[in-house]
Amino acid sequence: MPLGEVLGEVAAKVTSVRYSDIGGGQTKVEVDVAGEAKGMVPGHVVGTFTIIRSSSDQARPAPWTFIGRNFLASGAVFVGSGQGLCVRTGEGHKIRFRGTMCGTNDDPKLAEFNNTISAIEAEADPIAGTMTGANCLWK
């Protein structure tokens, strides 16, 4: 299925990171982010990525989930959640995220985006404390 137009692009800063040993050689990493979304659904974005990492092999793909909010200029709120996989890019400590997102909002002008599924691709740079990415609608 081809990807459609870009729903939004996000540039965010990491605001906090928490590590928890969850046993079985795995670590849960919770990354809080805050930043700005541009595009069809612009606003201030905040949310948390949760990643489950194998302690023994940091190069293996790892599952992630996301829950967050986009506070729109109209006063509406876009609630989003997603999931996918992330993997190191091979460039320093950078990590690539790919997956799907779904969201709902309470702005009648943006009703067409309620319950749509989009593809997400993002990149995190743990050293710089940044995350950038884009959501694309499926046609």
pLDDT(54) > 90: no
pTM of the model: 0.91
pLDDT digit string, tens, across residues 55-87 = 767 778 999 999 999 999 889 999 999 999 999
**62-72/95-105 β-pairing:** unpaired
pLDDT(117) > 60: yes
* Mean pLDDT across the chain: 92
Q: What percent of the chain has pLDDT over 70?
A: 97
**130-138/26-39 β-pairing:** unpaired
Reported as a pLDDT band with limits 50, 70 and 90, residue 92 is confident
Q: Which of 54, 55, 51 is nearest to 64 (CA)?
A: 51
Architecture of domain 3-138: Beta Barrel (2.40)
Write out the two tokens for 11. 């540039």
Backbone angles phi, psi at 108, to 5 degrees: -55, -30
Query: What integer pLDDT is reported at residue 42 of this predicted model?
Result: 92
Tell me the domain boundaries of the chain: 3-138
**Between 110 and 50, whose confidence is greater?**
50
